[in-house]
Structure 1
Amino acid sequence: MRVLVTYGSKRGGTEGIARQVAETLRVEGLDVELRPPGDIDDVSAYDAVIVGGALYANRWFRLARRFVHRHAQKLRERPVWFFSSGPLDGSAEQGEIAPTSQVQALMKQVGARGHMTFGGRLEKDAKGFIAHAMARTHAGDWRDSGHIQQWARSVAAQLRPGREGRPTPVESGPELQLH
């Protein structure tokens, strides 16, 4: 099973999560390619896709949004999962955080099977007016490797071939289609 992991990341925190997701999926025996969204012309070569986006003011970073819009038709034909990165506190580890309304709409557009929100990262010396102001009180790294790996393993379990050599269907969401 060939899986694409892509991400929209402005400051590198979401890219770091995507790297951990990709590595965990590889350890779980999947063939994984990690690429930024601007480097992907077609998703047809992949059996499944995971898209991550950094959250800024409850909006997914534009590169992730554009990727989903540009490839929506092909994404609807394969299993897709989303993840978001953003809370600058421990809330993502205390319980599941629902996707923002914008991310929910994107999920509906492509029939995404699931979503997870992970803690974000903001460096003390962040550039840009808003980021710099936020860094004064919210600088830190709230990405939890254990949480990221656990989620990636759950995705891998859903993608592993079942007894008939097909990926195991998910309890909710559209019927799995292989192409």
Structure 2
Amino acid sequence: MNATVLVVHGSANGSTAEIADAVAAVLGKEGLTAESRPAGTVQDVSSYDAVVIGGALYAGRWHKDARRFARRHRRALEERPVWLFSSGPLDPSAGERDIPPVPGVRRVMDRLDARGHVTFGGRLEEGARGWVARMLLKNGKGGDFRDFDQIERWAAGVAGELAGTRREP
């Protein structure tokens, strides 16, 4: 199956967008047609066979653009395979163990009958927008905790499911 996959993201400072781009790149390498776009820019999902929705986590909530995308396109998303990812922990925990989705993301998963979810580490660096980000940086909580090997393995698993070869993401 040469599926066309939309990878959307809600990202305030670019970290989640970079994860979405990496997911789309792996899907492309696996023989799928994949496109990464900001969630707020997508008007229609009807031309896509599958969708991956990614959102940054802020204070235990998924980025508003990811939440709005899932709500706005709910009916269309219910008709195609959907996977979700979150990014956010500013420590190595996401690479050490499976972190379950926060309650709001769990609700989105249930509503869309999503095939899976993963939480990736986040990144917070100097110049990040928002007072919370500035406070975290001031308190030494910044850094890049994304594991691109983990991201690539997960994306390859998604591609495998779409191609009909069962590889767990």
- TM tier, smaller: over 0.9
Distance 2:130 2:37 in 1: 26
Does residue 1:116 correspond to 2:118, yes or no?
A: yes
In structure 1, the residue corresponding to 2:47 is in which secondary structure?
Answer: coil
Output aligned runs, 1:147-158, within 5 Å. Answer: 147-158=150-161
Gaps of 5+ in 1: 163-167, 172-179
Distance 2:123 2:62 in 1: 15
RMSD: 1.5
Q: TM-score, normalised by structure 2?
A: 0.93
Residues 126 and 169 of structure 1: is their aligned pair in 2 closer, same or farther, counting only changes over 3 Å? Answer: closer
Cα distance change, pair 43–169 in 1 and its aligned pair in 2 (3 A)? farther
Q: Could you say what secondary structure the match of 1:106 adopts?
A: helix
**Residue 127 of structure 1: CA displacement?**
3.4
Equivalent position amino acid for 1:4 in 2: L
Q: Give the TM-score of the pair, scaled to structure 1.
A: 0.88
**Aligned equivalents of 1:62 and 1:108: distance in 2?**
18
- Residue by residue over 1:14-47, the C-alpha shift from the partner in whole angstroms, topping out at 9 and shown as x without a partner, is 0010010000100000011111112211111100
- Is residue 86 from structure 1 mapped to residue 95 from structure 2 by the alignment? no
| Superposition map of 1:104-143 within 5 A | 104-136=106-138, 137-143=140-146
Aligned to 1:19: 21
Deviation above 3 Å: which 4+ runs of structure 1?
Answer: 168-171
The answer to whether the aligner puts 1:100 opposite 2:102 as a matched pair is yes
**Which one-letter code corresponds to 2:39 in the other structure?**
P
The equivalent of 2:148 in structure 1 is: 145
- Offset, 1:146: 0.1
Q: Bigger radius of gyration, 1 or 2?
A: 1
Does residue 1:54 correspond to 2:66, yes or no? Answer: no
Contact 1:120 1:142 in 2 (8 A): yes
Letter in 2 for 1:34: S
Q: Cα deviations across residues 117-159 of structure 1 (Å, max 9, x unaligned)?
A: 0000001333332111101221100011100000000000000
170 and 27 in structure 1: CA distance in 2 versus 1, 3 angstrom threshold: closer
Aligned length: 165
By how many angstroms is 1:86 displaced? Answer: 0.2
